Structure 1
């Protein structure tokens, strides 16, 4: 016997339909590539998404054809998202910070039929155009521009395309298991791999992220997704915002601290989301400008471990709650989020803050475990001490990679993340390191994350990374790469002394290397592989 309830497929189009019916006048603020501001609304986003769906239909595409976007967080990009996925096509967001060879690979691997791009990427698109045999249309995500037309005669302009289209479009009732969007991993080793999300997985992920114990979105919020829409769909925020009826502030290409402070203060942002490198710049800019970031209630930190000193600064200086989260492309991306339980409110403030250092616990819909061996099912105890390979399963977790027919799971159906972690008795997970970034010194493990958290707390350091360097006696030893703050005169001895009494003496880095900049990838993560290639033998040279 089955239940006597209605069935409606979980579709991305239902999110934008909900937003237009119940939140049509809710503001969408967008910073354009030229720095100007466009004031839109969920109603206008919905109408233009239908206009763009009509454009795509006129091109003759069929269900599940891939449409690529190479664009920043702005209102036009948001409109294309809903127009593409809502009409049954697959929205393939591309990271413009990848190498041209990687861009060519993923566009061809996806067999994208159209490439939509912001005009800031014109030269990049022109440089790879001849290597994209499957792309039929190139659309500049802007109004008509004579200079672009001259440089790229076959280009089409988004504003012109939708201007002649009707806002009447009936979203098709698709199978909820149909693919909706495609994201590729950052490809730090080998070619990037595609992760193909479904309508069902995306809507369920949106429900989970809106929960009070997750991002806690509501129709009273004005959110600022600093994390790009090409980075795992901006952590799903454009979908969750439509579901909850949030107002959105889309920052475009200007992600520097000064620009973000201005947006937060001018548009009264309540919730912002981004990676630690972004928040470091925001803190510096707010201090320099004297801004108190009065409207900002919460900021979500993901993509890399949040340094405790950063969370402390947001709390003490700006009365802003920092929410630690963890995920990856293969997990849509939210896997765990750090929100306290009722019993934790009985702890003193320092104990609560200590608990906040972990990445958090899973929302309903996913489960996590740690195992002693990679891709095995020998689960380790949840005691907060045992460290193992982090594995995950759930409604929005990858099963297999796009265009790869083998499963990406363990024999018993879990995805091995490549992270090393602990899980305590309450289910709070703490990342020790990426398995490839752990440092094995004399048979003992050293966490580069723990060393980085100590170093970044020094007031004369702006950015740090710890890598494993080859050592003739101990196999590997930690080396600290550091970028000094402006006008700092800090020395190697002083920064190494800063570790005293904060960690075991044998875990203190052997060397400090001061650099002008530390390389980061397209998602804001430090490129430790690049640092290891340059400095991995520095201790051998010392001998």
Structure 2
């Protein structure tokens, strides 16, 4: 089987009454999920959507979000993930236009209704047609399942302009199988992913649904009840970002509630050794560092448990079905598999693939004799200041070895030949961390001008990554004044 429709039909037949999806108010069996997909496919077809159309979709993390994605995939409709809180702005406008969307669909979770608009109407803020879709029968008709389905997943844009990645549905299945082969998921297991709905949304549901497991969909505002959620659902598998894990460790009051967890995969950003140790000391659970990208359809490299607390630069070894190597001249990490991208839809720059089909990750790396991959920064993180090449993210990695430091972000200002280091830490350690950062920078930036700026919190995007544009604008406005402090505006 290599499509989600095939897996849903398989599990609906084999264990139809078993829970497939659960959110804060709903619990759907595999049989009900199949029926819902049938209803949605019937509605979308009657509305006039057809194979080859491109749909921008926005919805809260819920059972309905999953059913919409699978139904559209089955109809051969291209889907572009959009933010849950979606108002017309420059970023949304650009995303819809460069992806050539035909319609925008938004799900209203609390009323269980859909808004559907032609793109131009949406961008002009004209209200679309509001639809209430109810199941028409207890038995679904045969589901539609075209062979060629395309998923337009957006890169975060954290290392440049956002790009739209063409990914066939079967590539998502290939990636999920590779992860599940390394970290098996049983039908009795419960999986949850804490990514936002526009950050690799397939990660929310593909791995558990191909395994016949339960998929729990948790929204950020529910984390206040984290311990109860963990106990009630016996969560066994988690996927999350370092930022989310750090928040969860602060929120949780009863770490015994973590006892059912078998595997915690963490990625999206650098994972400090201090965070890995903190999680293990508090919960007794190891954190598995995971590397992946939009272009590889998800996680493709993980760190073996036996070296979980070693050098922070190691990201691990390739998952089954992935081949990795390092370019001899550029030292760039290259990766190849059946799940890697076909192309970018909106990118006219350098070909992202080598002539022999390897994806050029942009990461600088080395591979040990036993296959362990160590990152040495990113190609575009090397900046030239006063004639010197400085790897900004390596500075961040070195800074994060300071135990009292919470987060750090290093920025280069070309117009002023200046490096700015933003950092956050508990107020009682603020001065100490500042001194240690200064000592570090004196060693590595001895002939380069730099500024150290204290922030109560490093600003984040909805997907948990650092809001670099905000920091750049913040720097330009000199909002931190002479004391070099800034309180994040709520």
Q: Report the TM range for the smaller structure's normalisation.
A: 0.7 to 0.9
Q: Does 1:72 align with 2:60?
A: yes
Q: How does 1:59-458 map to 2 (within 5 A)?
A: 59-96=47-84, 100-119=89-108, 132-133=119-120, 154-157=128-131, 160-164=132-136, 167-172=139-144, 174-175=146-147, 178-188=148-158, 192-212=162-182, 215-235=183-203, 237-254=204-221, 256=223, 258-286=224-252, 288=253, 292-340=257-305, 353-354=309-310, 358-371=314-327, 378=329, 388-402=331-345, 407-438=351-382, 443=388, 445-446=390-391, 448-449=393-394, 451-452=396-397, 454-455=399-400, 458=403
1:385 corresponds to: none
Contact 1:448 1:467 in 2 (8 A): no
Q: Structure 2 CA distance, aligned partners of 1:102 and 1:129?
A: 18
Q: 1:497 aligns with which of 417, 436, 454?
A: 436
Aligned pair in 2 of structure 1 residues 466, 414: CA closer, same or farther (>3 Å)? same
Partners of 1:266 and 1:504 lie apart in 2 by 51
Does the Cα contact within 8 Å between 1:518 and 1:526 map onto a contact in 2?
A: yes
TM-aligned CA distance change 1:259 to 1:453, over 3 Å:
farther
8 A Cα contact 2:5 2:145, kept in partner: no
Instruction: Specify every segment of 5 or more residues in structure 1 that has no aligned partner in the other structure, as ranges.
Output: 1-8, 137-150, 345-350, 373-377, 380-387
Q: Distance in 2 between matches of 1:86 and 1:289?
A: 42
Separation (CA, whole Å) in 2 of partners of 1:493 and 1:439: 28
Distance in 1, Cα, partners of 2:161 & 2:121: 19
In 2, the alpha carbon distance for the partners of 1:309 and 1:336 equals: 21
Deviation per CA, 1:48-77: give whole Å up to 9, x if none: 111111111212322122232212321111
Contact 1:369-1:390 within 8 A present in 2 as well: yes
8 Å contact 1:440–1:446 — kept in the other structure?
no
Shift of 1:279: 0.7
Counterpart of 1:383? none
Shift of 1:111: 3.4
Shift in Å, 1:321: 1.8
Q: 1:118 to 1:261 in 2, by over 3 A?
A: farther
What is the deviation of 1:195? 1.2
Count residues in correspondence: 472
What's the CA shift for 1:22?
2.8
Shift of 1:278: 0.6
Residue by residue over 1:345-387, the C-alpha shift from the partner in whole angstroms, topping out at 9 and shown as x without a partner, is: xxxxxx5521676222212322222236xxxxx37xxxxxxxx
Evaluate the alpha carbon distance shift between residue 97 and residue 481 of structure 1 in structure 2; reply closer, same or farther with a 3 A threshold.
Answer: farther
Note the C-alpha offset of 1:395: 0.8
The answer to whether the 8 Å contact 2:74/2:149 transfers is no
1:405 Cα deviation from its structure 2 partner: 7.6
Tell me the C-alpha RMSD between the 2 structures: 3.7
Matched, 1:519 2:459: yes
Contact 1:70 1:121 (C-alpha < 8 Å) held by counterparts: no
TM-score by length of 1: 0.76
Q: Structure 1 residue 223: deviation in Å?
A: 0.9
Partner residue of 2:13? Answer: 21
Summarize deviations over 1:279-306 as a string: whole Å, max 9, x none.
11001111x5666522223211111011
In the alignment, the residues of structure 1 paired with residue 10 and residue 442 of structure 2 have an alpha-carbon distance, to the nearest angstrom, of 55
Q: 2:444 aligns with which of 494, 498, 506?
A: 506
Q: Which residue of 2 aligns with 1:146?
A: none
Query: In structure 1, how many angstroms separate the alpha carbons of the residues matched to 2:202 and 2:90?
Result: 24
**Take 1:298 and 1:450, find their aligned partners in 2: how far apart are those partners?**
30
Cα distance in 2 for partners of 1:56, 1:432 equals 48
Distance of 2:399 and 2:348 partners within structure 1 = 43
With over 3 angstroms needed to count, the CA separation of the structure-2 counterparts of 1:61 and 1:152, relative to structure 1, is: closer
Structure 2 portions without partners, runs of 5+: 484-490
Distance 1:117 1:537 in 2: 36
